[in-house]
Structure 1
Amino acid sequence: MNEDTDPEPEERRTPDGTEQGHRDLVAQPHTPGEGGPILTAEAAAARASTAQNPLGKPGRRFDPRSPFMVGMTGAAGVAVTYGAIQALMAVSQVLVLITIALFLAIGLEPVVSWLVRPWFPRWAAVTAVFLVAIGLLAGFLAAAIPPLVTQGNALVHNAPDYVDHLAHRYPLIDTLNTRLHLQDRLQQWLGSDPSKLAGGVLGAGRLVFSIVSGTVIVAVLTGYFMANFAQVRTSIYRLFPHSRRARAILIGDEIFVKVGGYILGNLVISGITAVLTFIWLLIFDVPYPLLLAVLVAVLDLIPVVGSTLAGIIVALVALTVSLPVTVATIVFFIILRLFEDYVLVPRIIGRTVRVPAVVTVVSVLLGGALLGIVGALLAIPVAAAVLLIISETVLPSLDER
């Protein structure tokens, strides 16, 4: 027998020696009445099956430049792109939660890495940081929620009276109240229509459930990201080719440092401004000090406009005390903003994040338009990372051309 000729497999032959491409475990019983063309094709299949190619040799490849293949490739690309966009829209809320958790894990990573020692492993450092963060948050909520609810309800119920009080004290507000009917609008908005009240209660319930479930999901994901941050970092760098991996590690770690330093520092600065605001409001007996202090902490996280908006809101509430207290509150917030920009930010965040003022404003506006408050909060570290990548990769290659 010729060595180049492959013997036909035994299972491809019937007991009488004829060729057969029909498998014994498929469509039995096998009879000649299935059709002559099929029997002929099965005999050809038996001859095509060899030891090297049990399922036959592959046929001639399609010409990728043929009109059919070009059209199919274009249609498949459009379909895949459309499906990817629809999938991203469907899971957009989940992706936002994942992004928040990842940024929080990056922000807490400097603390975790600082705690790691030969006698204090990473899992213990992650556990300690996570428990302290959850404990501080739970303690704050337990202490703050009752007065926040009380002060919030009081503010809602007393809002029309405050408008009337301010209208009698300040002619400008009286003129605005007369022209715009502010007091009537507030009373109508805060009316006790049962249908509106029921809708408001249901809406508030959905909002509370969404906030609580989102907080739990972010907390769990943050813990997972913190515990597996080394593996996440390794997986990201493995995506780069070997020739560029060293450069990717240097740039990537610098981005992690910038993002982590900014997020952690921003949280600390917001806490300091909230405490100082709370003390100021207590000294001058401005109503709802805790509610306003928490509002200042949340708004101060938003770059550029957050602290200014918080100052305007607190100054309006201070009008219910007296005009001198309002003026003093405005001066306090101006000094607080200068103190934050020239003392707290350089000392706590330092020069970790260097973003030009124009880029800061544009990035905050774009982030807020895309993802709302979350986008505005994450705009500056993302802009810093993009600027670093452009300055280290794109600009040098352009300068060499």
Structure 2
Amino acid sequence: MADNTIETLENAGAIEEPRANDGQRVILDPASFSARAVFRIVVISLILIFVGGFVASVISSLTYLFFLLVLAIFFAYLLTPLVQLIRSPFKHRKLERFMPRSLAIFIAYLVVFTVLGVGIAYLAPRVTEQGREFGASLPGYAAAIRQSLNDMNRRFDRLRIPEEVQTRINDQVVVAGERITSGFGNFLISLIYYLPWLVIIPILSFFFLKDVNAIRLGILRMFPAGRWRMRAESVLEEVNSTLAAYTRAQLISCLLVGTVCTIGFYALGLKYALLLGILAGVFEFVPLLGPLTIGLIATTTAALGDDPRRAVWIAIFLIVFRIFHDYVSYPRIVRGGIHLPPVLIILSVIAGEQVAGIPGVFIAIPIVAIITVVYRHVLEHQGKTRLLSDLEPNDTETPA
């Protein structure tokens, strides 16, 4: 009888294992809850790993496309106030049909590119000349660095510093110099690589500006009508105001930093003042890493010039201006825009650089700001839901 029972269980797919303590046989059914749970966890984990790897590969391959779209959106945010200014006289008189949005965008483009063309025509010859001189001076700077290393070695010999320590210090200095020069050269090469974007970005921005209402309505229609759509509209409005404030603050900050650095470099007698001042304004678009890079380039250029003591004054000027800008001028510029703790900004920039390189550094702060806005709205929505549920009368309770 027992043999027939065991045979029946074996035919049903049961697994029998001996128990060590009393010699009895226990039956483990693979269809039990524990086995199913483990199987589901393993399958779901494998699916998540596969999907995560696929999404990561897609994102990494589309990084520059995503960066292109982000720049186009930022350019659209920069032009939005000018488009509104052009249309405002017609809107107040209820004559919008004489100034459609497409025509206002075209006029805004005409004004912006005319101003940029005049500025480039005036500054391009001087910047090109200083850039050519700076490139021709790089071999001299390399020779000066080697001479400084030789002088340093002689001082180390007088101080009886071990040769291994001298070699390690010299290698680190050489590596740092190579990184600075190669990074500057790669930056110039990347500028040439991104030249077609000067045509693509305005075209994309034109369509973003023209179809902004259609895009907004399309996003809202993804949510069910009622409370969810109202909440989505509130999130979109806050995200829009946050990105607009951040974009315009970055533009004003770049213009301010470029102007002040150019004037300061000229006043301190730094060579290539115009070139380095414009680069300071451009690098301001890259949080943290941009100002640090231009500071290293400017102080190194001054230290290898005719008066090495000028590097100290350049460093003092940049540090004082950085403190004033970060804690006085920039908070007034951004105002109601992005308010993130400094630690979160640093971590965002590092994470953006690890994920997408320089484009990731550029877009890290806006993405984190959008995430904080959405997260805050989710918390507010949950809090209001709980509050309303507490205030609503319970159907099971009988009124007194």
- TM-score tier by shorter-chain length is 0.5 to 0.7
Kindly indicate whether the alpha-carbon contact (under 8 Å) linking 2:68 and 2:201 is maintained by their aligned counterparts in 1: yes
Q: Which residue of 1 aligns with 2:32?
A: none
- Of the three residues 156, 161, 174, the one matched with 2:140 is 161
- Percent identity between matched residues is 22
Q: CA deviation at 1:264?
A: 1.3
Following superposition of structure 1 onto structure 2, how do residues 173-212 of structure 1 map, counting pairs within 5 Å?
A: 179-180=170-171, 210-212=193-195
1:139-195 deviations in whole A, cap 9, x for unaligned? Answer: 344344433333233222222323444666895498799945989x999xx9xxxxx
Give me the CA root mean square deviation: 4.0
Following superposition of structure 1 onto structure 2, how do residues 211-230 of structure 1 map, counting pairs within 5 Å?
A: 211-230=194-213
Q: Of the two, which has the highest radius of gyration?
A: 1
**2: CA distance, partners of 1:394 / 1:217:** 39
Bigger mean CA offset, 138-147 vs 368-377: 138-147
- Of the three residues 84, 90, 94, the one matched with 1:113 is 84
Structure 1 position 298 matched with structure 2 position 269 = no
Q: CA deviation at 1:329?
A: 1.1
Bigger mean CA offset, 246-255 vs 114-123: 114-123
**2: CA distance, partners of 1:233 / 1:212:** 30
1:62-103 deviations in whole A, cap 9, x for unaligned? Answer: xxxxxxxxxxxx999999998877665554433321222123
Kindly indicate whether the alpha-carbon contact (under 8 Å) linking 2:283 and 2:294 is maintained by their aligned counterparts in 1: yes
Q: CA deviation at 1:262?
A: 0.6
1:87-137 deviations in whole A, cap 9, x for unaligned? Answer: 655544333212221232134334433443215543343223322333333
Q: CA deviation at 1:306?
A: 2.3
Q: Which residue of 2 aligns with 1:375?
A: 360
Structure 1 position 231 matched with structure 2 position 214 = yes
- Of the three residues 266, 269, 277, the one matched with 1:285 is 269
Corresponding residue SS for 1:287: coil
The code of the aligned residue for 1:99 comes to V
How many pairs align?
A: 317
Kindly indicate whether the alpha-carbon contact (under 8 Å) linking 1:237 and 1:245 is maintained by their aligned counterparts in 2: yes
**2: CA distance, partners of 1:273 / 1:312:** 16
Q: Which residue of 2 aligns with 1:58?
A: none
Q: Which residue of 2 aligns with 1:310?
A: 294
* TM-score with structure 2 setting the length: 0.67
Q: Which residue of 2 aligns with 1:349?
A: 334
The code of the aligned residue for 1:97 comes to L
Kindly indicate whether the alpha-carbon contact (under 8 Å) linking 1:262 and 1:349 is maintained by their aligned counterparts in 2: yes
The code of the aligned residue for 2:220 comes to Y
**1: CA distance, partners of 2:172 / 2:295:** 25
Structure 1 position 132 matched with structure 2 position 115 = no
**1: CA distance, partners of 2:67 / 2:278:** 23
Kindly indicate whether the alpha-carbon contact (under 8 Å) linking 1:300 and 1:310 is maintained by their aligned counterparts in 2: no
